[in-house]
Structures are given as C-alpha cells and as structure tokens.
Amino acid sequence: MPLPPDWDVIVVGAGAAGLFAATRAAECGRRTLLLEKNVRPGTKILMSGGTRCNITQNTDSRGIVDAFGPSGRFLYSALARLNPQEVVALFEAEGVPSKIEPTGKIFPVSDRASDVLDALVRRLNRSGCTLALEQPLVDLVRLDDDSFQLITPDQSLHAAKVIVTTGGQSYPGSGTTGDGYQWATKLGHTVIPPRPALTPVTVDAMWVRELQGVTLTDVAVRVIEPPDTESPERQGKQKCLAQRRGSFLFTHFGLSGPVILDVSRVISGHAQPRRLKLECDFLPATSGPELDAHLRNEAATSGKKQLGGVLSHLLPRRLTDTLLALLTLPQDRKLAELSKADRGRLVQSVKGLAIPVTGTRGFKKAEVTAGGISLQEVDSHTMQSRLIPNLFLAGEVLDLDGPIGGYNFQAAFSTGWLAGECV
Ligand SMILES: Cc1cc2nc3c(=O)[nH]c(=O)nc-3n(C[C@H](O)[C@H](O)[C@H](O)COP(=O)(O)OP(=O)(O)OC[C@H]3O[C@@H](n4cnc5c(N)ncnc54)[C@H](O)[C@@H]3O)c2cc1C
C-alpha cells in the first residue's frame, strides 16, 4: 500500500539516531515517517558490542564530550537533553535494565542487543510514527518553499522538515553506504573526507599472524611516525600520533581488540600508513626498571629457572616464546646466565616492541566512520543545517566519531533526540 504523500517530518535511516529522532518528533506531535532501506530497523544495534550492544558509558555529559576530543563540544546541547543516565533510565522504563562493566561500558543485563532494539521499536510504535521498511531514499530535493521532495523507488513524498540519519559508510553491508553525504554535498554542505575508524590494523610480519588468538587484557599502544628524512625541519624527530591502553588481540591479519581499534583512525587517515609502527608495552603496569629488577632478583634467588618459564608467569606463553625467538634467546637459557645486555634487550621488547603496520581493514570492518558532514555547518542547539532551513542532521552522518565504549551510540541517541525535539 502506498504511503500517504505528505508529512510534517520524514526521518531517513532507522538506525540509532533515526529511531530516537523519529520517536521524539512523533511524541512532540509531528506527523512523522521513518524511512529505512533495510528489511528491518537498527541493523547495527543488533550487531553491536558483539551482539550485546554497549548502549552507553558510565560517565556524565562532560565525560562523553571529552572522549570525542576537540569536536566533542558540539555535543553539549544534545547531551543536555539526553545524557547517559537518561539513556539508561529510558531503557529501564522500557523493561531493559542495564549493568556497568569494569571498563565503564553499559550493557543490557540480558546481554542481548535484540532487547535494546525491541525496546526502541516498542517506543517508536507507541509514539505514532510510521515506519516504512525496504524504502531507500534515492533523492532528496529542496523545494522553493524550503520544504522537501523525497524520492523512493516506489513513490514521491513530501515533508516540511527532514532529518537525515543515514549513518556513515562503515560496514556497508549493513546498509550504511554514505548516502547522506551525497545529498548533503548536493545541497551545498561540506563533507569532511570519510575514513574508517575503530577498525582492525593489518600487519605483514608472519610472527604476528602466527600469534592469532592470543589476547592480552592490558597493553599500552603508541602509533609512531618515524622521522621524515625528506622533510628537513622534521629530521630526527619521531612523532607519537595516538596512544591508548586496553585489551589487545593478535589475529590472522594483524591486530585487533579495543586498544587497536581506538588508535586505528590515525592509521587509516595517514597518507603513508606503511611508514607507521605500533609501539607495544605488553606490561604497562610494571616499569622497565621494575621488570629489570624482577629478572635480576629471580636470577639471584632462582638462577636455575629457565627464561621461558619465568616470562610465562608475566605474559601468555605463546607471546613470550615469540619474543624470545625474535631476540634469538633460547627459552631454556638459565636466568643466571642471562647477560646484562640481553636482559636489557628483553625488557625493551616487552616494554616497547615495535610492530610495523601495513594499513587497516578499512570501511568493511570499521565500527564507525570518521569524517562526515562538517559540524561548522550544523547548529548544535537544534541539529538544523545552518545552510538549508528545515534540514536536520544527526548521528554518524556528522563529522563525529568517538572511542570504543558506548560513546558512539550515546552521540547518535542524543543528537537524534535533540533533532526530533527541534523539528
Ligand atoms: C560491528 C559494530 C559494532 C558496534 N558496536 C558498538 C557498541 O557496542 N557501542 C557503540 O556505542 N557503538 C557501536 N558501534 C557504532 C554504532 O553502531 C554507530 O556509531 C551508530 O549505529 C551510529 O548510529 P546512526 O543512527 O548514525 O547510524 P546507523 O545506526 O548506521 O543507521 C543508519 C541507518 O540508515 C539507513 N540508511 C542508509 N542509507 C539509507 C537510505 N538511502 N534510505 C533509507 N535508509 C538508509 C541504514 O540502513 C541504517 O539503518 C558499532 C558499529 C559496528 C559496525
């Protein structure tokens, strides 16, 4: 059955931001249509957090703003309308209680992303909003009276106001193919070049791939750009482009885990990613001198112990075997026979092993998109375009990307909610 052609508000994209925006607009009394290209809404919500959905972070508005870096200030007004505690309360009221994990990540108690999505769809249905599935928007046309014509493959619709919540272009298989950028560009907006963020990092070194499956819960990682021999002013200076600490995983293509995903945006955004290396401290809670002293003490008190055995009390055995092989130190070397120079090399490799990278797994495996519609051109108090009256933008389609930990959903929920209240 065709949809009624005329609407107060049409929201394009039923993801995290679109579901909040459409619900809120309808609750505020607007005749609202939510268009979604997929057969169901909230595909990324279902995939998120390893299908557990990390809905937000256990922090206040300030904590969310800070996590987004310099662009985080854009979120103040949206968070003033819907902060992390209010998101938690909103889900609780819909019968989805949540729990806080030691990392501060907040998940539904059930560990089921489907509960989160069901709750949002329930509230959407109660709001009176119409949800139209398998209805991709193919064109957005601005009319002379500042309203819009929206073209889908089936029909032409009209709306006084439009909220674009089409997300970024990561995981394109889930429906996010950067469609919003095209319309925004056509309407005169600046799109900061999209690039993959929160994406695994690729490494050629065979020894890394052979460690596939080894996980460490606490590794400090720095992305290092070596001195540029061709630029006279930067000669001799290496630069740290990003640093984080957290859980780390070796994979068949390179490296993953939250700490790697969090630093990946500087690699995917680098003109020559192959020049970069990751400096990994596998024991960040122990200083270099402390580790050195520990090895010396062990040598003094239990000198017959073998190197491999002693190290495996500190790190996973497969990793220590590999580190020793890289240093050409035999695993059965007795501690008492370890020279000062070799002990120094060992401490250095545990505390700052350099792993050259080749790039990232790209948009295909990126949890978010960095770049997007320029924040300068959007009023953060309303989410309305500063260039096109009655056009609103929310969620990841904007030039906003946060770290792992529920920050990205919070930003999508809050900006969507604010846009819904302001249309
Ligand atoms: C694997 C994975 C795990 C993640 N886990 C987490 C997590 O645990 N916590 C967290 O905070 N963030 C997580 N994220 C990031 C989070 O999913 C996104 O930041 C968030 O979904 C962005 O919300 P959005 O509404 O802006 O975009 P999306 O949720 O991507 O929604 C955009 C919607 O627009 C639709 N659409 C696109 N083009 C059109 C069109 N032309 N017509 C109609 N509809 C269209 C899409 O189909 C989609 O439904 C994860 C992402 C991925 C990929």
The Å distance, Cα 167 to ligand 1 centre, comes to 5
Best mutation site among 40, 44, 103 for ligand 1 pocket (most ligand atoms within 8 Å of CB): 44
* Atom in ligand 1 nearest the alpha carbon of residue 166: 34
pLDDT at 237: 84
Spell out, as residue ranges, where the chain has pLDDT lower than 70: 230-235
Q: What pTM did the predictor assign?
A: 0.94
Q: Does ligand 1 lie within 6 Å of residue 47's CB atom? A: yes
pLDDT at 233: 64
* Atom in ligand 1 nearest the alpha carbon of residue 18: 25
Q: Does ligand 1 lie within 6 Å of residue 409's CB atom? A: yes
Q: Does ligand 1 lie within 6 Å of residue 363's CB atom? A: no
Protein residue whose Cα sits closest to atom 5 of ligand 1: 48
pLDDT at 1: 82
Q: Does ligand 1 lie within 6 Å of residue 105's CB atom? A: no
The Å distance, Cα 103 to ligand 1 centre, comes to 22
* Atom in ligand 1 nearest the alpha carbon of residue 366: 53
Protein residue whose Cα sits closest to atom 3 of ligand 1: 48
pLDDT at 407: 98
Beta-bridged to residue 162, according to DSSP, are 10, 391
pLDDT at 297: 94
In angstroms, the CA 359 to CA 274 distance is: 6
